[in-house]
Amino acid sequence: MTECNQALTIEHAGMVMAWANTDNGLMQSTFNTERQLRTKVPPIPAPSFELAIAGIPYGHSPALISGLTRLPEAMKLISYSADAEKLFMAYKHEALGLKVETEMRFVPGSAVIRQSTVVTNEGSSPVVLTHLSSMCVQGIASDGALPWYDKRKVRVHYCRQTWNGEGQWRSGDLEELGLYPTSGHPSAAAVHFSSVGSWSTGKLLPMAVLEDLETGKAWYWQIETSANWHMEIGHRGSWSEDSGAIFIHADGADERFGGWSKELLPGESCRAVPAAFGCVDGSFADAIRELTAYRRYLTRELHGTLPPAPVVYNDYMNTLWGDPSRDKLAPLIAAAAAAGCEYFCIDAGWFGDLGSSWASGLGDWLPSRNRFGDEGLEALLASIRHTGMKPGLWLELEVCGEDAALAAKPDEWFIRRYGIRAGGGPRWFLNFGHPDVCAYAHGVIDRLMRMGVRYIKNDYNLCIGTGDDTGGRAAADGLQQAMRDFYRFIDEVKCRHPELILENCASGGMRADYEALARFHLQSSSDQEDYRKYPSIIGGSLAAILPEQLGIWAYPYPLLHSELANPASIEEPGYLRTMEDGEQTIFNLVNGLCGSLYLSGHLHLADETNRGLIAEAVALYKKERAYISRSHPIWPLGFTRMNDEEGWASVGLVSPDRSRILLSVWRLGSGSEYRILPLERWRGRKATVNLLYPGEGYSVESSYSANTGQLTVRLPKPYQARLFDIRFEVLE
């Protein structure tokens, strides 16, 4: 920290954040990687938060922009302190009695700052908050010769999501995304990304990267909430002079984006959802490297004494499809154990009787009376333990079906809106703010633990919607509280049962934010059942989720959902012959080796060749998972779009010292047998390239040139995949 002419500069991990001295005290002005920053035009300092209350004009263009509220400009700095770990600042609006405190923590080992913001009503009258930001950072991409709006300067990277189609990154310049100057007045335009409801990653990821193509720098951020969120890129300009710069803003509390508001009585406080942000010299990949390091710091105590990234077999995807029984499970258990799996998770259906629709009975979580023979589910779980694996079960802890006995509980047990339980049919949503609900759910988990369960897959197959308006509060505020209540319950579960592994799933990746992932050991990447489409999802998801947390399905011998009416089809000689060359199994396992290997499929039908390929991949994964848990991703071919069936795809996992890459390469439906993969950052460094998986009998041509920094790979058939081990000479 340095002070010069009563200004403040904070430096951390190559980042430089500056505050200017104003009549109201220190206000944040620039955020860059250069200490001696030359800006094209002077920035406009402002506090690192935005705030609005009912009855006070919002600010500039309130219908269009969130990041230009009026109240912060009238607040004065009353105290601040800084050390090597954090910066604390407190601002106050004397007339209204509102105090805002921000704490920026400098994350060790990464170019990331994590901000928390709290507003307190120190006045004598209630106030109604209508906006509270999680972060607002000024002075973005303010250096260089090009004006901020030039199409050649700024590129914004963001990620679209949908069911079965997660991780679809896109990019655009500011103008095409919605931010551009229109006159001599400050711009009323902005780039907006937002989500409403508890499927926080159902449409977009709550993160973005802004790249300055002119100066070779990148800014990045993520907001950590499973409730509503909103991100904005705008321009803070002047009415009277040529000044201003781009700002980035994020919040989980905005009346205009989700209907949030909250009354604060005198003495009460409100805490914003946290956000993390940073900047780095480099590009998108460098930004993700820093966010990956930050996420590891955030989850550093997640596993305790549990082994990270275990090999899990789950019986659902392309296998039993929620219809388990003792007879169906027995060969799968034996095959999974033989392959080297460490956990065996029985997915949906274990609680419903054969011949019945179990969906409307969610919530009671009692074992089926007729699926598992006379000895029942507990004996089957014991048989899993006898193979050396640990048993797991699927739950949807947060819901209750209308036919469950649990449905008879009072309405206070449930999330409500308009006085009516939110949801309906198979899924009403439980209120984990009610102590009896928490006690009930703890009782369920305690009982399953006594039965030997050591793995729970918690699914979440419906979105609450706008939230819970019980007691007259804004539904959006109720939603935020509902998520906090549930995660407090999850924290309690982990304290009670430190030997239990928890997987987060929401129809795949529909709730994959880091409010959730700071608590769950594993995240389901997708419900995608076509292995050929998975590389697109894997590549994009690795930018948002730690590889060791990203559960990636690998399902050899799949029974697709469209073939459920003819389950015997996968045992027909014609089908089995299509599997003989092993290439479909290899493709599946290369998918899984990019993150946390998550097996399914009819492994017991595998012939000797395919059994060997499965066991080889599992053994390799166990050998490399410690490396995977230290690596960060790269994309030599960029991101592959979901329906790009004519191309290739590639993802690399790079060591911290950049001396090694585990490189997955997929030929999709491309008509070309050859693909050149640029590894430009390693240009000039000699390397050895070895085919890591599969092994003997599956060699392919490859050639690396240190002069060009390019790897050429030949895969002679469509829909082939290989995993390469690239090791570079260590530079002195």
d(CA 294, CA 301): 13
Q: Please choose, from the candidates 478, 360, 461, the residue with its C-alpha nearest in 3D space to the C-alpha of residue 419.
A: 478
Q: Are 50 and 69 in contact (CB under 8 A)?
A: yes
Residue 336 CB contacts under 8 Å (≥ 6 apart), including other chains:
313, 344, 387, 389, 599, 603
Full strand arrangement of the beta sheet holding 15-22? 2-4, 7-12, 15-22, 25-32
- Phi-psi region for residue 623, left (φ > 0), alpha (ψ -120 to 50) or beta? alpha
d(CA 181, CA 720): 48
Beta pairing partners, 140: 246
> Does residue 459 have an active-site annotation?
yes
* Strand ranges, E, within 358-517: 390-395, 399-400, 416-417, 420-421, 423-424, 427-429, 455-458, 501-504
> Does residue 527 have an active-site annotation?
yes
Q: Please choose, from the candidates 277, 328, 285, 256, the residue with its C-alpha nearest in 3D space to the C-alpha of residue 62.
A: 256
Residue 725 CB contacts under 8 Å (≥ 6 apart), including other chains:
660, 661, 662, 663, 689, 690, 691, 692
Find out whether the peptide bond into 367 is cis, omega within 30 degrees of 0.
no
Element (H, E) at 644: none
The Cα-based distances of 276 to 119, 155, 656, 701 in angstroms read: 19, 20, 21, 43
Residues making up the chain, counted from first to last: 732
Residue 193 CB contacts under 8 Å (≥ 6 apart), including other chains:
158, 204, 208, 230, 231, 232
Element (H, E) at 620: helix 608-628
Beta pairing partners, 420: 417
Contacts 24+ apart (CB under 8 A), 523-528: 523/549, 523/550, 523/551, 524/457, 524/551, 524/598, 525/166, 525/167, 525/550, 525/551, 525/552, 525/553, 525/595, 526/164, 526/165, 526/166, 526/553, 527/163, 527/164, 527/317, 528/164, 528/165, 528/166, 528/553
How crowded is the C-beta side of 186, counted as CA atoms within 13 Å? 21
Residue of 286, 323, 459, 469 marked catalytic? 459
Residue 386 CB contacts under 8 Å (≥ 6 apart), including other chains:
none
Amino acid residing at 39: T
Strand 674-678 and strand 710-714: the pairing is antiparallel
d(CA 275, CA 732): 38
Straight-line distance from the first to the last Cα atom of the chain, in angstroms, rounded to the nearest whole number:
33
Strand 687-693 and strand 720-728: the pairing is antiparallel
Q: Please choose, from the candidates 134, 104, 139, the residue with its C-alpha nearest in 3D space to the C-alpha of residue 119.
A: 134
The Cα-based distances of 723 to 612, 694, 695 in angstroms read: 16, 7, 10
Longest alpha-carbon distance in the chain: 83
Q: At what angle do helices 326-339 and 376-386 cross, to 10 degrees?
A: 20
Q: Please choose, from the candidates 190, 219, 191, 189, the residue with its C-alpha nearest in 3D space to the C-alpha of residue 204.
A: 191
Q: Please choose, from the candidates 672, 692, 696, the residue with its C-alpha nearest in 3D space to the C-alpha of residue 623.
A: 692
Which residues are marked as active site?
459, 527
